[in-house]
Copies of this chain bind each other. A is one copy, B any other.
Amino acid sequence: MPRKPNTEARRAEIVQALQSVMATQGYEKATIQAIAKAAGLAPGLLHYHFKSKQEILVSLVTTLADFGQRRFEQIVGSADDPMQRLSAYLEARLELGEGAAPEVVAAWVMIGAEAVRQAEVREVYQRAIANELDLLADLLAACMQRQQRATGSARELAAGLLALMEGAFLLASAAGAVMPVGYASQAALRYAVLSMETAPPG
């Protein structure tokens, strides 16, 4: 009587454990032993389900990216007015960075640092960033169109918005104590609204 495969569930547990450990220890110090312990599994099992530690990391990046995508759709899909959609998204996203899900945020920051030095990680990270950029640009373009403005600068505005968000995540994780409380979502919204207002009519 064969044992039924549970690989997918185990993989998810392991990826989750990596996120958890990475948030406080970084990738290098997130040892296989530490991940296994966090997941309540035997160390050897991690290499049964993943070929390498890097594969766990890549899996985490795509998981978080997918999670972001779904979250985007959830938040934004519930509203009609483009401006409401933008505002809802920025608030939801940046409240995360300021306390609601610090583990996810810190893990994401660590992933950014790993992307600098691991080509394979960089690849999936860049895909996620490019995707987020597209989503933001669409969101902004919709607002601008409603305001009867040219949408040509939407992508560049979106880039600034994304930088502001990612920077807020980094600072929340690494220097949260010295930053003003709740500045980020307001700054993002302000940047978006005012920037769009300066776009020429289209």
A-side residues, CB < 8 A to B, are 23-29, 106, 109-110, 112-117, 122, 125-126, 129-130, 133, 155-157, 159-171, 173-175, 177-180, 183-184, 186-188, 190-191, 194-195, 197-198
Contacts of A24 in B (CB 8 A): 116-117
Q: How far is the CB of A119 from chain B (nearest CB, A)?
A: 11
Chain B residue with the shortest CB-CB distance to A25: B117
A162–B164 Cα gap in the complex (Å)? 8
CB <8 Å contact, B174 and A113: yes
Classify the interface of chain A: helix, strand, loop or mixed.
helix
Q: How far is the CB of A5 from chain B (nearest CB, A)?
A: 12
CB <8 Å contact, B171 and A170: no
CB <8 Å contact, B113 and A109: yes
Q: How far is the CB of A107 from chain B (nearest CB, A)?
A: 10
Contacts of A173 in B (CB 8 A): 116
A163–B195 Cα gap in the complex (Å)? 17
One of B26, B115, B129, B190 near A160 (C-beta < 8 A): B190
Chain B residue with the shortest CB-CB distance to A113: B113
A26–B112 Cα gap in the complex (Å)? 11
5 further interface pairs, Cβ-Cβ under 8 Å (given A156-B187, A160-B183, A163-B167): A129-B174, A155-B180, A160-B191, A166-B167, A191-B194
Q: How far is the CB of A42 from chain B (nearest CB, A)?
A: 8
Chain B residue with the shortest CB-CB distance to A185: B160
**A25-B117, A28-B28, A198-B194 known; A129 and B171 CB under 8 Å?**
yes
28 example contacts (A-B, Cβ-Cβ < 8 A) are as follows: A25-B117, A26-B28, A109-B112, A112-B113, A112-B170, A115-B175, A116-B173, A122-B175, A125-B175, A129-B178, A130-B178, A133-B178, A159-B180, A159-B183, A160-B164, A160-B191, A161-B187, A162-B167, A163-B170, A163-B184, A163-B187, A164-B167, A166-B167, A166-B170, A166-B171, A167-B168, A167-B169, A191-B191
